[in-house]
Amino acid sequence: MTETKKQLRAIDTPFVAPGPSGVAIRDRLKNLTTEDEKVLRLVGDHLGHLASLDLQARCADGNDHDAQKWAARKQGLTAASSSRWAGSITKATHDQWALSRRCQLAHIQNLEAGVTMLRHRLSQPIGAKGGKQAPGGYRSKGEWFHKSRRLATLKHRLDAARADRENGVVHVVRGGRRLLNTRHNLTKAQLSEAEWRRRWEAERCFLSADGESGKRYGNETIRISLDGEVSIKLPAPLADLANAKHGRYVLASKVVFAHRGAEWADRITADRAVAYRIHHDVERGRWYITASWQRPVVPTIGLETARAKGMVGVDTNADHFAAYRLDVHGNPVGDPHRFHYDLSGTAAHRDAQIRHAITQVLHWAKHCGVAAIGIEDLDFAAEKTREKHGRNKKFRRIVSGIPTGRLKARLVSMAAGLGLAIVAVDPAYTSQWGGRHWQKPLACRRRKMSRHDAAGIAIGRRALGHPIRRRTAPPHDDRSDRRGHRTVQAGPGNRGREETRPPATERAHDARSRTGNRQGTRGTSASTTVRDARSARARAQNPLLNAE
């Protein structure tokens, strides 16, 4: 009985990730008066109500939306606010509707993956063992029955989601569905009704204004001057609250952008577009303003340029980054480095942990002198389904906890600020082949190698364009090529790579001609074995032996 050979999937070509397309900086609005906070809440609630009505109208249009309906919506909003506020509201509505459509498609793909996996496992015999490529059957008849009921539930959800997508129906909640559902279980969330209400109103308020190139300081609706003065164009129903000319309200707080402040000042000096957003952090009781603008598309460096100074391979895990430095030829240099982070706790804590770990990785890579960092192009969208991994809840929790999307955005943006490129590689077999070919050879008393460290080497070699497998020794039984050539002995384009090995005299770098009994420059040393020593002593005592 012949065993079928395992079929490996094709490995995608590494590529340099494109740089960030925008910049966002934030500062706190300090020393706000009671009147300032009152005006901000009134303006935010009024515009938030208009944004809710506009989103409801857009969802009602569905796939029948066109430019005329957009113009009609904007015209209705202009009468209750201003033309610029109406433009910002309609643009935010379109962005939110498009995001909901993308999330709807991802939900459909997730349901399809779950249905496919359930059908596969239900078709297997009960108790059948699975492999690495596909799981086996279920353990008992009871589990098989419950999974068959779940298959019917997922199929119903899939049909409903497909019907909604065909009809252009999306389900959107301004303020967030998670916060909305928290209202039904305030005890578990440790919130009172008043605290929840303040958070709900803060999330639903609208204080965002898009920038305009050619206008004063790049924005006519929310304007920040060079000295940090913040003024807001009030909507028409709230124009009586103005404390400055032309229906504007000037806040008592001054804004100073410490991060990228010079770049922001250059933009507003040249009257280039800058968008602003004012938001209230209820937990801290603080007001913040965020400035953002688009960057011109800067071409990334070539792949060969990124590989010119070596590479730092980074393996992403649930609680740390495993990084290893490699030279241009793919050889590991030094010891492995691990940068830990904790993804438990609140979202703000997790985000801070990710930023801190990325900062450590980038500074270490900059210190090594490399020009790029190799990282896996991870996407666990299809791997998060509980139908594939079954009872392995711990592994499902680990995979779901890795912040792949946020990690990519943070890493690319922060690396661009330090002048480093990001080379994304295919994650196929990096941990498996790295552990097989690099973990044991590099482990010693002073160096502890883990499977994740070996995966970092595999990722770096793949980013450099080298095979993951290291150079192996000749066959164990002899020194000929009877069992085949060494692994990675020669490149595919080298001539004569399939021929027999040349003689030893031709292989040696310092080979000398060995003809007759001619010796080299160094004489033969005396033998140190006991047998040869006895023979020499006997010849010295008996001259007849020498005559023979």
Specify whether 177 is located in the same domain as 276: yes
Question: Are 124 and 241 in the same domain?
Answer: yes
Q: Is there a single domain that holds both residue 216 and residue 246?
A: yes
**Maximum average pLDDT range among 272-281, 301-310, 333-342, 522-531:** 272-281
Looking at the structure, do residues 318 and 357 belong to the same domain, yes or no? yes
Distance CA 20, CA 18 (A): 7
Do residues 170 and 216 both lie within one domain?
yes
Query: Do 227 and 312 sit in the same domain of this protein?
Result: no
What is the per-residue DSSP string for 155-172? HHHHHHHHHHHHHT----
Phi, psi (deg, nearest 5) at residue 195: -65, -40
Q: What is the pLDDT of residues 87-109, one digit of tens each?
A: 999 999 999 999 999 999 999 99
CA R_g for the chain: 34
Helices (H), 369-450: 386-389, 393-401, 404-417, 430-434, 440-442
**191/136 same-domain check:** yes
SS3 category, 339: strand
Verify that 339 and 289 share a domain, yes or no: no
User: Are residues 402 and 380 in contact, defined by beta-carbon separation less than 8 angstroms?
Assistant: yes
Only one residue has tokens 């060494």, namely 486
Could you give the count of Cα atoms lying within 13 Å of 23 in the half-sphere of its Cβ? 17
Length of the chain: 548
Assess if residue 480 is contained within a domain.
no
pLDDT for 497: 42
Q: Give per-residue pLDDT as tens, 382-398.
A: 445 566 655 666 666 65
Give domain status of residue 270, yes or no.
Answer: yes
- Number of neighbouring beta carbons within 10 Å of residue 170: 19
What domain range includes position 77?
Answer: 16-294
Q: Looking at the 3D structure of the chain, how many domains does it have?
A: 2
Rounded distance between C-alpha atoms, residue 538 and residue 212, angstroms: 107
* Of the residues 464, 486, 520, the one at which a domain ends: 464
CATH number at 348 reads 3.30.420.140
Whole-number Å distance between alpha carbons of 125 and 233:
69
pLDDT class of 472 with cuts at 50, 70, 90: low
Confirm whether 445 is domain-assigned: yes
Each residue's pLDDT tens digit, 199-235: 999 999 999 999 899 999 999 999 999 999 999 999 9
